[in-house]
Amino acid sequence: MEQSIGYQILIDLYDCDYDKMENLEFVKDMMKNLSKILGTTIKDEAFYKFSPYGISGVLIIAESHLTIHTWPEYRYAGIDIFTCSKKVNTKDAIEFLCQSLNTKKYEIKEINRGKKTTHENRF
């Protein structure tokens, strides 16, 4: 059986708190706390506040990346956790995110990414 190199957790959060999704500092802090909960190591970050509304952000972590995109006008946030670590506690992450954005409605998809092989692929 082939092992995957990593996996990605796609989290769709609905009926979120509009004001929290529009607060750049809140979103940054929430994502940094998510990294702590996941036990990942932040290497760099980039966040951007759109006009008239919405925020996109990424944390580059030693284990891959964490991203968020908010659509306050739809009360929706999309969060991706892409990691090579198999130790991620999805349940704790979801509970934290739902509590942070005051939502109880969410959907999760988990995807294995890449295949470990014993040969080199060259172009």
Active-site residue, selected from the candidate residues 4, 56, 65, 84:
84
- Alpha carbon 14 to chain centroid distance? 15
Q: Strands of 64-71's sheet, edge to edge?
A: 42-49, 55-61, 64-71, 76-83, 4-14, 105-115
Q: Report which residue type is found at 29.
A: D
Active-site residue, selected from the candidate residues 16, 35, 64, 100:
64
Active-site residue, selected from the candidate residues 69, 98, 100, 119:
69
Mark whether 119 is an active-site residue.
Answer: no
Mark whether 69 is an active-site residue.
Answer: yes
Positions marked active-site = 64, 69, 84
